[in-house]
Every structure is written in C-alpha cells, then in structure tokens.
Amino acid sequence: MNILKIKDLVYKILRDNVLARDQDNILVSLVWEFQLNRMNYQGNRDFMTILGIDKLSKYESISRCARKIKENNPALRGSNYILRQQEQISVVRQIKEFQ
C-alpha cells in the first residue's frame, strides 16, 4: 500500500482524535475501520485474509506516515511527545556517563 494514499486519512484521524496521537494501535484501528467500511466489510469474511492480501494498509506504513505528519505538524504530536523529549535528555546524559 502506498503511504501517499493514506496520508490524508492519517492526518484527519490525528487532527480529530487526540488518543490516536499518542497510541499507534488506536490510529491503526481507526485507519483499518475506515478502509474496511469502504470495502463494505460486514464481518462475513476472514479479517486475516483481508489483511494478508494487502487490502489494508500495513501497520508500519501507518505508523511511519504518522511520524512524518507529526514531524511537520507539532500540534499533532500528542502529550507523550514532551515526556519523551524530557526523557531523552536524561538518557543521553546517562549514556555519556556510561564509560
């Protein structure tokens, strides 16, 4: 699946759903839900078969797309971003002192 095909959908979900900004599992489930609805999926087919024949975007592609969108749109980064940045400073300091 081409990442450019899901870019607008991922952006819309990140913009509209605060939880999806911090949790890739929620983001992916919302993307897949949208894609399944477009296929008129009613649960009468095996989900794993649909996933296996590339009818749904891959988890990694959605996550990668979200990272790029967040890089270019700081407002969509979510609340965990600040915590990770603060933790990064501590980890870098620990690594420098690790010798």
Q: Which two tokens stand for residue 84?
A: 């990770």
Q: How far apart are CA 86 and CA 33, in angstroms?
A: 34
When divided into structural domains, the chain yields a total of 1
Q: How far apart are CA 62 and CA 83, in angstroms?
A: 22
* Average pLDDT taken over every residue of the chain: 89
User: What is the average pLDDT across 25-33?
Assistant: 96
Angle at CA 4, nearest 5°, toward 71 and 47? 105
For 61, residues 6+ apart whose C-beta sits below 8 A from its C-beta are 1, 3, 6
pLDDT score of 1: 58
Range of the domain at 72: 3-96
Q: pTM (2 decimals)?
A: 0.77
What pLDDT band is residue 39 in, cutting at 50, 70 and 90?
confident
Nearest in space to 36 (alpha carbons), one of 24, 23, 49 = 49
Helices (H) and strands (E) in the chain, counts: 6, 0
